[in-house]
Amino acid sequence: MINSFVEAPEITPEPSGWKILLQCLEELKLVTRRYSKKQLKWIRNRFLGSDMREVPLVYPLNTSDVTRWTEMVSTPAKETVKSFLDGDPIKLQPLEKIKRLADGCDEEKQFFCSICERVFIGEFQWQLHQKSNKHKRTLASKKKKEKLQSEKTAS
């Protein structure tokens, strides 16, 4: 019944559950996109995010055009693996490691924000906090209260 509706929707009545099927397909596409983003994030963090662990180099392949899969993905991938195994130079350039913003910061040091009354561990977290809107709002609020307090005591 669904096949006949898909082939000739003008003449075939809509089968029961068609709207639910379309809704399920949209939901499936959404969770697939979400999972894909999660996978890419994992790959970036695991393979490109740290120089501290021994991980293999990651080589980019263009998978955007499925009709050109053999020439854009399959052949370059096979050539890269063969060159690696044979010890030959690899034609593709590997992706660069991601430079972390926290590199070069002392992550053992503790900082205390007397304005927000919070403790921060690590110089990077401390720098982020000092630039944050929450810190700025708390600072402005305290200054405003001090100004009102001084005006009351002056009068």
Q: For 52-99, what is each residue's pLDDT tens digit?
A: 678 888 999 999 999 999 999 999 999 999 999 999 999 999 988 877
Q: pTM for this structure?
A: 0.49
Give pLDDT tens digits for 7-45: 777 777 788 888 898 999 999 999 999 999 999 898 888
Residue 103: is its pLDDT beyond 70? no
Residue 113: is its pLDDT beyond 80? yes
C-alpha pair distances (Å), 137 with each of 34, 113, 120, 128? 34, 14, 18, 14
Q: Which residue has the tokens 């009709």?
A: 67
